[in-house]
Structure 1
Amino acid sequence: MSSNPSVTVFEGHRSFRLRLILSTLSGKSIKIIKIRSNDLNPGLKDYEVSFLRLIESVTNGSHIEISYTGTTIIYRPGIIIGGELTHNCPNSKPVGYFIEPMLMLAPFSKKKFSIIFKGLTNLTGETGVDAIKWGLLPIMEKFGVRECLIHTIKRGSPPLGGGEVHLVCNSLIPSPLTIHAIDIPKYSAIRGVAYCTRVSPSIVNRMIDSARSVLRNTGCEVNITADVWRGENSGKSPGFGITLVAESKRGWRIIAENVGEAQSLPEDLGELTAYQLIEEITKSGAIGRYQIIMALVFMIIGKEDIGRIKIHKSEIDEKLIYALRDIKQLMGTEAYFKDDADEIDGDDEFMTLSIRGTGFTNVSKKVA
């Protein structure tokens, strides 16, 4: 059956989640081969197997075949049904790894999504819960998904985790709105949260003070909240971190976040994150680097109309190129980049990315 020409074949573990999400939304079967075939430990990692289980839980009729070595999988998607469930995430990835792709499926489900994720809430180099709450949910609002909430019930710092996060999506829409984000936002306020679990609350204040001293020069209103977790709700490990968000009056947001490592100073972490936020603002168009993939997915499955977003040239990285290749292979849609330097008074640092929607309709939704 795997030789069926209707199965789209991909190679390697790159964009693993995106491929499965696109397959589920388009209803097309995929086969992924050579997953870490040259590694000493070949095949799927524990978090990828956990993600497959999650996909299986929120869909009905999905069929997953994994080869004996774990280097090949075949996925035949079913209908997105959502519902209420609890998912235990392995401590190798934070809950954000699982929540992010669920946000792309939740609005097109048969029933409302209500999932409790258990595990790490933040991890270095990965999207944390606060970044999703403040960075991705506002982007979803732009596409017409307004009733989506994330509640942090327990914070779980690495390495042992013990956190709990509740994702609720009450907004079921037939298809996303077409977006035209071609103006560079002007950021008027900087907000943030500095949190700690099972350590002295003074650490939070030290992070806030050092971040404020850097951001004071921006001229923006700065408001960073202290979030101290104690007792049962503070997870199983001590830890601290900070998430900063620049906000425009029209609701566009740029995020920078960091998690404290062993022997790292809270002052250094606050200062580093503040500088990263400033750099991210200067190197972002209408949306930030970590928001682009979600925006692309919603643009592709939108109405048969052309959506446009302005991006900074530095945002066109390897991850984006590979994502666009996967999109072309599964959805048959190509993105068009237009250099703004060609226009009168155009800025040579920015490009406009245009992509045509495929006219997706939510087949999972009950017909009224």
Structure 2
Amino acid sequence: MVHAPLVYTGNADFRIRLVLATLAGRTIKIEKIRSDSMEPGLKDYEVSFLRLLESITNGTVIEISYTGTTIIYKPGLIVNGTVTHNCPLSRGVGYFLEPILLLAPFGKAALNLTMKGITSNGFDLGVDTIRTALFPVYNKFGIMRQELRVIKRGSPPLGGGEINIFLPHVLLQPQTLHAAVKSPPISKIRGVAFSTRVSPASVNRIIDGARSVLAVTGCETYIYSEVARGEDSGMSPGFGVSLVAETKTGWCFTAEDVGGAGEIPEDVGERAARALLEEVSMGGMVSRCQAKAVLILMVLGKEDVGRVLVGRDVVDESIVRLLRDIKLMWGTEVRIKPYDSSTDDDLDEQGPEQYVISVKGVGFVNASKKIA
């Protein structure tokens, strides 16, 4: 049965809608992309992402209107393979890598992807956060053995970074997730502080700033230092830090920060540490940057009900838009109900308001995987 194209309006959730369309095999049409803007149509990084999708799929057809304000996307099969992609300097490598992580496990073969550009810019997910905070989430769904290697670090505005990511695990469908119990306390805090083309002392100052804030947790804290030198340091000076708070059950919360012009390293470390404590204080099992991937993988699971506990502030407008897109794409609905804290042992402690999200998987099966 041939479905009519699903029609979306505007540039919001551009990457997510293309990912959902690719997984569902549905043709979509996106209209009025920045039609009221002084610079209407697709941006360079959105066109670059479309080209990346073409590189890892076979049979994909993309039609872009003359003004760039309308596209029609007909997805093909995910084949993966060995790909090199040059990312524009307007966005970080994480902008392109984050959605690819949702597609690669459902391809025909392993994905060996080399990407060049800005490795951390402060608003797209940095490569360290992807490695230390997103990979553990994918492990919960049975997607294993991911490898991300930072060959060169690249800071804005000139970039010059390079990473290689190897995603060998191809599976038919993700495992069902059952994580609707009270989130365990944080057991340890890890992190990576990095610098490019600045004094190596900057990294130690970032670590000192972060430790001064995290001392109140009483948790074991270890922040690695990585000073990029010579050709490995990209083309622009910069520094930043990625922090991860881990629980004994393998869930983690994350925050990161990158220094801007004229900022001192201590402030960057303190900001990242406070952002991490804020993520932890929300409760639940996932950070805001992990929530969309968790929901999509839960929807793709077998026809069983999966559950996950999230903090109230994690369910924001972008999550609501995602749930609407999921219903439009697969016709499945998600149930969100308040978490009953009366089942907890420590009734004296008033924790954050949390929700249990229940999802019945659509029984997605990877049609691209080679038949053994």
TM-score bin (small chain): over 0.9
3-state SS of 2:151 partner: strand
Gapped regions of structure 1 (runs ≥ 5)? none
Q: Which moved more, 1:342-351 or 1:123-132?
A: 342-351
Q: Which residue of 2 aligns with 1:264?
A: 263
1:69-117 deviations in Å (ceiling 9; x for gaps): 0010001110000000100000010000111111001111101100100
Q: Which residue of 1 aligns with 2:320?
A: 321
Does the alignment pair 1:188 with 2:187? Answer: yes
Runs (4+) of structure 1 exceeding 3 A deviation are 341-348
Q: Which amino acid aligns with 1:82?
A: N
Q: Which residue of 1 aligns with 2:107?
A: 109
8 Å CA contact 2:311, 2:352 repeated in 1: no
User: Within 5 Å, which residues of 2 pair with 1:1-368?
Assistant: 6-183=4-181, 184-341=183-340, 349-368=353-372
The alpha carbon displacement at 1:185 in A equals 2.8
1:315-365 deviations in Å (ceiling 9; x for gaps): 111111111111111121111001124865596701100111100111000
3-state SS of 2:66 partner: coil
TM-score by length of 1: 0.97
Cα distance change on mapping 1:127 and 1:36 into 2, 3 Å: same
Q: For 2:3 and 2:21, locate their aligned partners in 1 and report how far apart those are by CA, in whole Å.
A: 15
8 Å CA contact 2:110, 2:167 repeated in 1: yes
8 Å CA contact 1:99, 1:167 repeated in 2: no
8 Å CA contact 1:284, 1:315 repeated in 2: no
Report sequence identity in percent. 52
Cα distance change on mapping 1:214 and 1:348 into 2, 3 Å: closer
1:272-297 deviations in Å (ceiling 9; x for gaps): 11111111100141111110100111
Q: For 2:342 and 2:49, locate their aligned partners in 1 and report how far apart those are by CA, in whole Å.
A: 44
Q: For 1:325 and 1:343, locate their aligned partners in 2 and report how far apart those are by CA, in whole Å.
A: 31
Q: For 2:79 and 2:68, locate their aligned partners in 1 and report how far apart those are by CA, in whole Å.
A: 27
Cα distance change on mapping 1:320 and 1:62 into 2, 3 Å: same
The alpha carbon displacement at 1:367 in A equals 1.2
Q: For 1:331 and 1:291, locate their aligned partners in 2 and report how far apart those are by CA, in whole Å.
A: 21
Q: Which moved more, 1:133-142 or 1:331-340?
A: 331-340
1:244-295 deviations in Å (ceiling 9; x for gaps): 1101111111111000000011011111111111111001411111101001
Gapped regions of structure 2 (runs ≥ 5)? none
3-state SS of 1:223 partner: strand
Q: For 1:124 and 1:212, locate their aligned partners in 2 and report how far apart those are by CA, in whole Å.
A: 20
8 Å CA contact 2:283, 2:352 repeated in 1: no
Q: Which amino acid aligns with 2:27?
A: S
1:220-251 deviations in Å (ceiling 9; x for gaps): 00101110000001000010001111011111
Q: Which amino acid aligns with 2:87?
A: C
Q: For 2:96 and 2:343, locate their aligned partners in 1 and report how far apart those are by CA, in whole Å.
A: 43
The alpha carbon displacement at 1:125 in A equals 1.6
Q: For 1:50 and 1:58, locate their aligned partners in 2 and report how far apart those are by CA, in whole Å.
A: 13
Q: For 2:41 and 2:235, locate their aligned partners in 1 and report how far apart those are by CA, in whole Å.
A: 30
3-state SS of 1:228 partner: strand
1:39-83 deviations in Å (ceiling 9; x for gaps): 110010000000000001100001100000001000111000000
Q: Which amino acid aligns with 1:357?
A: G
Q: Which amino acid aligns with 1:154?
A: K
1:149-196 deviations in Å (ceiling 9; x for gaps): 111110000000000011110101110000011131321100101100
8 Å CA contact 2:3, 2:26 repeated in 1: no
Q: For 1:71 and 1:62, locate their aligned partners in 2 and report how far apart those are by CA, in whole Å.
A: 19
Q: For 1:185 and 1:281, locate their aligned partners in 2 and report how far apart those are by CA, in whole Å.
A: 11
The alpha carbon displacement at 1:137 in A equals 0.4
Size of the aligned set, in residue pairs, is: 365
8 Å CA contact 1:339, 1:348 repeated in 2: no
